[in-house]
Each structure stands twice: as structure tokens, then as C-alpha cells.
Amino acid sequence: MKALLIGNGAREHAIAESIAKSADLFAFMSARNPGIIKLAKEFSVGDIKDPNSVLKFALHIRPDYVFVGPEEPLAQGVADILIKNGIKVCGPTKGAARLESDKGFCRNLLQKYVKDGIPKFAVCNTVREIDTAMRIFDTELVVKPAGLTGGKGVKIQGEHLKDFLEVRNYAYEIVEKQIGGMNTVVLEEKLEGEEFSLQAFTDGRKIVPMPLVQDHKRAFENDEGPNTGGMGSYSDSNHLLPFVEKKDLEDAVKIMERSVQALQKEYGIIYKGILYGGFMLTAHGPKLLEYNVRFGDPEAMNVLPILKTDFNSICLSILESRLINADFEKKASVCKYLVPKGYPDNPEADAQVGINESLVKQKGAKLYYASVNEDDGKISTTKSRSFGVVGFDTTISGAEKMTESAISAVKSDKLFYRKDIGTDKLVQKRVHHMIKIRGR
Ligand code: GLY
């Protein structure tokens, strides 16, 4: 079997590893990912967001199917052009990808089909609409550009935005400067709770969930500092999280099932690929904060290495609308991202990094390459996240220790990471927060 992967981050390196277990891997990347290059039979570097460039390489490879890693190519219609040319794609079409690329569209659809499962919201396109909408909320607010911002556009009152005035000004800025590429802002009630990521395979009818993961968006320890693409994440061996109960997972899966079915009912769109719900677990159960139409980054690195079912078989079953179940090892995982000093606001690039890959392997951990350059075997950093290091064990605490010990295989004083992710102290803080919120 031949599978063509689009993308070149650490998430895609983890996907590449899963594909290469039982298929010949081909890759189309916007930059050379040394990990993917090592696994691929053939690769090409070009503009992954340009549907015609992707099509050209796909016609050259003639794969059995294409897997698209990041959201931008999907939002640009890469799946549509490939399908039109007779190439199968495990990934949503442009219309289905609007669940992520147009948060206004997503909210309006969900309001009709999963009303109780989402926060109160308003979608605004003008300053006047913002003024009117802000009067209807009696809670603090979350402000979201409707378009894509790489996870960095969401601002929360009381955290990034001091008060009502800052909320209003940021909402104005989004519509006036078209932050996220659209003049649309979503205002949303701020919910109290703990966030979790539910990634799932779907053929447009059925949802097959993967182990739950919790990501850490803030750059610094104790959840301080600016928002990032994600600094690290953990999962537990029972595939829940220490603060999530089975019923919460079932409710979240139901929300996702109703969402893909809503796409078909309302627009005749059959969603095929990965759907990832970013949920807030509240005193009243899980509420969907946003959808992503792809694997999470870093969350893919938590779940794919412990996937027991063959990844290519799952993708083919999605394409044939007969989605099979996915089995995962009963293991906990902790992923920590190593990022350049100064990331995300003023990252220092071009630092040389030494990596002892055999030491990572010896520890039983995984190292996934993210945004780095390789020249003559020498690895140097860029301005984005550099490496994801992941440890596994029967407990989160054991996995965290493995991650820490594997990080010693990366030699550089120009990188930093969050030491607190996956530690007992931080996990217990989440558990106690949730106990307080539930009142039990
Ligand atoms: N975990 C954040 C993201 O993948 O968007």
C-alpha cells in the first residue's frame, strides 16, 4: 500500500511513523522534517497549502490514499481537488473543515443540533453587533477570531484581557483588522472547569474515540505566560483523565456524533477523517469549546504510539464508510515540547542541537521532530516548536519520569520546556479544581 502524508510537524512525524508500520510512506512537506524523511520512500518540499502543488505530487505518486496533517491545507480545499482527481483522502473537504476554519459556522450549526453541549455565544461581524451582543452576557467572556490563528487568537477575560473594555477592544480589533482572515468574532461565555481533548476517527456516521488527552497552552510553568500552539500533554492508562469520569466521555462522544450527523443533515456533507473536540468539563458536564478537523499537536504524540490497531486499516475503513474500532495499549503518556528560548513572542532561531536518538530509544521514549532545519546531518532550531519528547508507563507519573530522562538526550542551552507537565503536583491541582467545581 502507498500512503501520501501532507505536513511536516511533530504531529505529522507521529502520523508518519504509524503509516510506515504497514504501508510505503510518501510525504509532501513545506519544510524538511528529518524524522519523516528517514521514514519516507520519497518526499517533496513545496507549498502544502496550495491545492495544485499537492495535486501535482499526488498524481506523481498515485497513492492508495492521502492523509492531511494540518488544518490549513484542508481549509484551502486540498481534499476537494484530490477527490475530484480520483485520489482518496482521509481528511475532510473544505466544507467540512469549516468546523475549524469558520467558528461562526460551527457555532450556528451546533446551536441547532447540540444546544446543551456548547457555551452561550454570539457571532458578530461589525462593531455595532459586538456592542449589542455584549449586553446579553452576565459572565466574563472569551473572545475568538472566527478564522484560523494557529491556536493563538483566543483571549480570555480575567487572563489575557483585564476587563470589559479590553474584551470589547479586542473584539473590535478582530473585525476591523480581520484577524484570522475574516471580519467575524465569536464572543462566548467563560466557563469554569478543566479542558480536555477528545480526538476521534470518524467516517461521518460513527465516532471512534481515542484516549483523552490534556494539553497545556501557556508557555510557562503554572500555566503562566502567553498562549502557544501547545507546550505538552498527558494521557492516562485507562484512556480517561484523572478528573474525567466515564459518563463525561460518553457525553462528549455523543456531542461529536451529533455534530458529524448535523453536517450531513444540514449540508449533505459526509465528514471523513479525524475530528478533535476541545472540551471544557464543567459542573454540568462537558461543553464543546471548539472543533479541530485534524489530530491535535501535541495530542497526536500521546495516542498514536500506543495505537494497537493498524492505522492504515482504520483510514481505509473510513474511506469505505465502515469505520472499524481502534484499540490502544493501556498506557499513560506524557509529551513535553522543547521550544526555542523566547518562544512564542521573541524566539531565538538557528541554535545547533545535538540529539542522541539511541539514548531516547534506550529509555523507551519517543522523540518527534517539529520545526527544525537539517543541514549535513546537523540539526538547528527555527522560531517554532523544535521537538516533542514522549514517555510512556502504566502511570502518568512514571511516564513523566521517562520523558524527563529522555530529554537529557537533547543537548542545547537554547531550548526550554515546561517541567511541570504530567507531574503529580500539576495533575492533582487539576483533580482538586474539578472536585471543587463539581462540589464533590
Ligand atoms: N492542542 C492544540 C491544537 O492542536 O490545536
Q: What is the mean pLDDT of the chain?
A: 97
**Same domain assignment for residues 207 and 308:** yes
CATH of the domain at 368: 3.90.600.10
In a domain, 431, yes or no: no
Q: How far apart are CA 397 and CA 404, in angstroms?
A: 11
CA distances 406 to 57, 303, 304, 317, 359, Å, are 36, 18, 18, 35, 7
Q: How far apart are CA 427 and CA 440, in angstroms?
A: 17
Q: Among the atoms of ligand 1, which is closest to the Cα of residue 297?
A: 4
CA of 123 from ligand 1 middle (Å) equals 22
From 74, 235, 289, 292, mutation site for ligand 1 pocket: most ligand atoms within 8 A of C-beta: 292
The protein residue whose alpha carbon is closest to atom 3 in ligand 1 is 296
**Same domain assignment for residues 174 and 198:** no
In a domain, 437, yes or no: no
Q: Over 80: is that where the pLDDT of 151 sits?
A: no
Q: How far apart are CA 256 and CA 288, in angstroms?
A: 9
pLDDT tens column, 56-98: 999 999 999 999 999 999 999 999 999 999 999 999 999 999 9
Domain boundary among 133, 156, 189: 189
In a domain, 432, yes or no: no
Residue 9 is given by DSSP the state S
Stretch 52-56: mean pLDDT, rounded?
98
Which residues are registered as beta bridge partners of 375? 378
The three cell numbers of residue 371 are: 520545526
Predicted pLDDT at 376: 87
For residue 411, give the amino acid letter.
Answer: K
CA of 338 from ligand 1 middle (Å) equals 16
Stretch 265-287: mean pLDDT, rounded?
98
Number of folded domains that form the chain: 4
Full residue range of the structural domain in which residue 153 is found: 120-189
Which run of H or of E encompasses 24?
Answer: strand 24-29
Q: How far apart are CA 428 and CA 246, in angstroms?
A: 19
**Same domain assignment for residues 174 and 220:** no
CA distances 420 to 194, 205, 258, 344, 394, Å, are 17, 39, 36, 18, 19
* pLDDT level of residue 440 (50, 70, 90 thresholds): confident
In a domain, 98, yes or no: no
In a domain, 113, yes or no: no
- The pTM is what? 0.97
CATH of the domain at 156: 3.30.1490.20
* pLDDT level of residue 115 (50, 70, 90 thresholds): confident
Predicted pLDDT at 414: 96
CA of 356 from ligand 1 middle (Å) equals 27
In a domain, 429, yes or no: no
In a domain, 164, yes or no: yes
Specify the pairing of strand 185-189 against strand 141-145: antiparallel
**Same domain assignment for residues 305 and 415:** no
pLDDT tens column, 9-33: 999 999 999 999 999 999 999 999 9
Domain boundary among 157, 189, 221: 189
From 195, 276, 418, mutation site for ligand 1 pocket: most ligand atoms within 8 A of C-beta: 276
CA distances 260 to 109, 257, 299, 332, Å, are 10, 6, 21, 29
Pocket around ligand 1 at a 6 A CB cut-off? 151, 215, 230, 292, 296-297, 299
**Same domain assignment for residues 74 and 154:** no
**Same domain assignment for residues 160 and 184:** yes
CATH of the domain at 53: 3.40.50.20
